[in-house]
């Protein structure tokens, strides 16, 4: 397959098909899929499409090349799950997206109690095959740990996740009950703890539960999880959210968000949130870096689309922001964050009448009253409609005095700034800073508040809110896995091995088995082949196989053997792979080579 360099180490795991006799087991096949996605996402250097974008294709009978093109990946993993009593059958196959060529497949029949071992085995086999075909990856010894010894607890957690992923309050509340059932059976089950933490944070941010109470429960379950396992990316992502939305602590938020992607570079929520943190700090370059990673991982996600629209709004590209936000709203008319930012975009482009109409057209259940009154106050201010402007401004003032008046209060700041009432604006900032109001961080660099940048006090608070030392670039370049002396030593051992023992004649030769020949770690051999010799494992081994074929084909005593027979004698186990690599090495087909004599 001829993939561009940027696409080679990319994979999408499509939802495994439920082959069980009961449709009720759909949650289980979805759960297995998600576990494999999470396992592969731990591998540095491998881009794994997130669950949201992969599951977009669930139940859609589309050609693999089309799916690969839409997700911008080189490889697609398909599979199926069959649960029958206490037995489990999982099938998986890797397919090259461009030409729809299946280059690996396998089936596992295991007792259900071995489900975690099977997930680990599948994930490692996939990672090995990708490394052999597309280039160096450092692969851990294990990618999936045993979550629990209680299969009923695991089943409850998968059912809960299935419901939680629907992201509406009714299903999330049902998921909470199921997670609690799982913890009743296994109090150490961190996946259920994190499911509860995520569920309560959702209810907090959407207003379907008391804000502080829900975040307190979120914090409690995070702390319980981290006492058992400190390597949970979701935990640090939620801690980053907690730091921003309840503590007004940008430093703690950055620290935890960076931890989440250090553990799992493909953790899209962490990448998205970092883009958000950097853009509210005015760090566009760094924000775009993380947003690009998130978009590459999750190209079809409504959530990633929102972050893209928000980035455009914050950087003044209002027409593009409106386009992206409208796409989010078309996909989900109840997307509250997208509706909120859209109203501000309309203000900035002078379409205040549409801004006013926006709230009239919305169903009541998605209207946050303080956002409505705040937006209307701004809209009428822009239209120089003093009576209506004052009317809604006074309503915002009253709402800001309420027990949950955070949002309304932030609109006071936007109103003061937009009106160029800088004394009132900075009085609000000072008060918000003293009281650690979380919305100070979100609103301080909002485009609507840009008039405050002309005031000498702006830089003081910019430095307080977003300390410069937190915004420095960190050099993350990795050291070579082998020094110069070891590179030379192992390179020479490979040359001697290939010449003397010819391991490439074994059609089942793998990078791991080749590493055993010269007593080197597979990660180090992978690095040596790619960085020192400039080839991946398949290119390196198939070079020797092509040369062996050419030697055998020139021998008159082999004239009675077919070309594919000679290919098999040379170590190839596939006609397609043989033809592909032969032409890649020589520039001609095997038949043309024979004709040349």
- For residue range 335-381, what is the model confidence (pLDDT) as tens digits? 888 899 999 999 999 999 999 999 888 777 767 788 899 999 999 99
Range of the domain at 436: 368-470
Does residue 135 lie within any of the structural domains? yes
For residues 516-545, give the mean pLDDT: 93
Boundary (domain end) residue, out of 120, 146, 172: 146
Let me know if residue 330 belongs to a domain: no
User: Is residue 62 within 8 Å of 145, Cβ to Cβ?
Assistant: no
Coil, helix or strand at residue 542: helix
User: When comparing pLDDT for 53 and 474, which is higher?
Assistant: 53
Q: How confident is the model at residue 5 (pLDDT cuts 50, 70, 90)?
A: very low
| pTM of the predicted structure, to 2 decimals | 0.83
Q: How many residues does the chain have?
A: 597
Instruction: Answer yes or no: do 411 and 513 share one domain.
Output: no
* Residue 173 resides in a domain: no
Q: Is residue 302 part of a domain?
A: no
Closest by Cα among 361, 387, 351, 355 to 374: 355
Half-sphere exposure of 246 (CA within 13 A, CB side): 19
* Measured distance CA(303)–CA(308) in Å, rounded: 9
**What is the structure's pLDDT at 333?**
84
At 407-443, the pLDDT tens digits run 889 999 999 999 999 999 999 999 999 988 888 999 9
The band of 7, judged by pLDDT with boundaries at 50, 70 and 90, is low
Q: Give me the CATH number covering residue 34.
A: 3.40.50.10610
| pLDDT at residue 2 tops 60 | no
- Same-domain check for residues 521 and 418: no
Which range, 1-10, 310-319, 472-481, has the best average confidence (pLDDT)? 310-319
Strand partners, 78: 93
Q: How far apart are CA 344 and CA 377, in angstroms?
A: 12
| Last residue of one domain, picked from the residues 83, 113, 146 | 146
Mean pLDDT of 253-263: 94
| 108-130 average pLDDT score | 91
How many structural domains compose the chain? 3
- Please indicate, yes or no, if residue 524 is contained in any of the structural domains: yes
Those residues with Cβ within 8 angstroms of residue 439's Cβ, 6 or more apart along the chain or in another chain = 406, 407, 409, 410, 432
Q: Are residues 495 and 591 in the same domain?
A: yes
Q: Which H or E element spans position 250?
A: helix 250-263
Both 30 and 86 in one domain: the answer is yes
Task: Let me know whether 438 and 563 are in one domain.
Answer: no
**Could you say which of 413, 448, 470 is where a domain stops?**
470
Q: Report pLDDT for 545.
A: 96
Provide the mean pLDDT of the chain: 91
- In a domain, residue 318? The reply is no
315, burial (CB in 10 Å: exposed 0-12, middle 13-18, buried 19+): middle
Looking at residue 165, what is its pLDDT? 82
Please write the tens of the pLDDT for every residue from 437-476: 888 999 999 999 999 999 999 999 999 999 888 777 655 5
Residue 21 confidence (pLDDT): 86
The tens digit of pLDDT for each residue in 67-99 reads 999 999 999 999 999 998 889 999 999 999 988
Residues 549 and 490 in one domain: yes
Do the domain assignments include residue 391?
A: yes
Strand pairing of 75-84 and 10-13?
parallel
Regarding whether 508 and 457 lie in a shared domain, the answer is no
Task: Look at residue 334 in the predicted model and tell me its pLDDT.
Answer: 77
pLDDT, tens digit, for every residue of 287-306? 999 999 999 999 998 889 99
**Residue listed under structure tokens 């370049």:** 477
Is 449 in the same domain as 535?
no
CA distance 285 to 276: 12
What pLDDT sits at residue 475? Answer: 56
Specify whether 508 is located in the same domain as 582.
Answer: yes
Query: What is the C-alpha separation between 355 and 290, in angstroms, rounded?
Result: 31
Q: Do 123 and 93 fall within a single domain?
A: yes
Average pLDDT over residues 253-278: 94
Same-domain pairing of 28 and 116: yes
Quick check: 566 and 543 in contact, CB under 8 A? no
Strand pairing partners for 74?
A: none
Assess contact for 471 and 286: CB atoms under 8 A.
Answer: yes
Residues contacting residue 85 through CB under 8 Å, at least 6 positions apart: none
**pLDDT score for 168:** 79
* Within a domain: 550: yes
Q: Where are the alpha helices (DSSP H) in 72-150?
A: 115-134
CATH number at residue 575: 1.10.10.60
Q: What is the mean pLDDT of residues 58-64?
A: 91
Do residue 557 and residue 428 come from a single domain?
Answer: no
Asked which of 323-327, 505-509, 592-596 is least confident by mean pLDDT, the reply is: 592-596
pLDDT of residue 346: 97
């Amino acid at each position: 397959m001829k993939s561009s360099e940027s696409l080679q180490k990319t994979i999408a795991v499509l939802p495994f098909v439920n082959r069980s006799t009961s449709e009720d087991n759909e949650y289980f096949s979805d759960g297995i899929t998600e576990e494999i996605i999470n396992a592969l996402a731990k591998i540095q250097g491998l881009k794994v499409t997130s669950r949201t974008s992969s599951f977009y294709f669930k139940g859609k009978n589309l050609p693999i090349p089309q799916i690969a093109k839409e997700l911008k990946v080189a490889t697609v993993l398909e599979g199926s799950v069959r649960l029958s009593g206490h037995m489990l059958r999982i099938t998986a196959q890797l397919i090259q997206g461009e030409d729809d060529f299946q280059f690996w497949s396998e089936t596992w029949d295991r007792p259900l109690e071995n489900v975690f071992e099977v997930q680990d085995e599948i994930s490692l086999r996939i990672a090995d095959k990708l490394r052999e075909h597309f280039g160096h990856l450092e692969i851990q010894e294990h990618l999936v740990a045993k979550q629990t010894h209680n299969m009923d607890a695991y089943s409850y957690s998968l059912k809960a996740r299935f419901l939680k992923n629907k992201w509406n309050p009714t299903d999330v509340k049902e998921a909470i009950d199921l997670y609690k059932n799982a913890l009743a059976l296994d109090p150490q089950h961190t996946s259920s703890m994190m499911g509860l933490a995520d569920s309560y944070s959702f209810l907090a941010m959407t207003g379907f539960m008391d804000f502080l109470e829900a975040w307190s429960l979120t914090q409690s379950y995070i702390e319980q999880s981290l006492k058992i396992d400190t390597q949970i990316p979701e935990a640090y992502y939620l801690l980053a959210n907690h730091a921003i939305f309840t503590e007004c602590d940008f430093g703690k938020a950055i620290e935890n968000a960076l931890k989440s992607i250090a553990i799992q570079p493909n953790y899209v929520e962490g990448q998205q949130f970092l883009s958000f943190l950097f853009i509210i700090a005015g760090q566009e370059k760094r924000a775009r870096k993380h947003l690009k990673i998130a978009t590459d991982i999750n190209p079809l996600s409504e959530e990633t689309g929102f972050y893209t629209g928000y980035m455009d709004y914050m950087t003044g590209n209002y027409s593009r922001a409106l386009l992206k936000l409208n796409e989010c709203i078309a996909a989900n008319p109840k997307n509250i964050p997208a509706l909120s930012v859209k109203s501000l975009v309309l203000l900035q482009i002078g379409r205040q009448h549409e801004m006013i109409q926006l709230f009239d057209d919305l169903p009541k259940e998605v209207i946050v009253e303080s956002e409505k009154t705040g937006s209307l106050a701004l809209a009428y201010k822009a239209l120089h409609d003093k009576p209506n402007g004052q009317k809604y401004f006074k309503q915002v003032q009253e709402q800001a005095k309420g027990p949950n008046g955070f949002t309304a209060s932030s609109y006071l700041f936007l109103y003061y700034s937009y009106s160029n009432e800088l004394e009132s604006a900075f009085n609000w900032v000072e008060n918000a800073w003293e009281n650690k109001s979380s919305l100070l961080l979100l609103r301080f660099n909002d485009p609507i508040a840009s008039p405050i940048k002309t005031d000498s006090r702006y830089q003081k608070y910019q430095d307080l809110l977003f300390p410069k030392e937190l915004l420095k670039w960190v050099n993350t370049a990795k050291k070579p896995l082998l020094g110069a002396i070891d590179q030379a030593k192992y390179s020479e051992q490979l040359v001697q091995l290939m010449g003397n023992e010819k391991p490439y004649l074994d059609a089942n030769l793998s990078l791991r088995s080749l590493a055993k020949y010269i007593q080197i770690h597979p990660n180090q051999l992978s690095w040596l082949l790619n960085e020192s010799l400039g080839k991946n494992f398949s290119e390196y081994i198939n070079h020797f196989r092509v040369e062996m074929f050419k030697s055998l084909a020139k021998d008159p005593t082999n004239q009675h053997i077919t070309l594919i027979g000679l290919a098999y004698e040379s170590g190839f186990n596939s006609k397609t792979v043989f033809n592909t690599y032969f032409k890649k090495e020589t520039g001609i087909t095997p038949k043309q080579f024979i004709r040349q004599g």
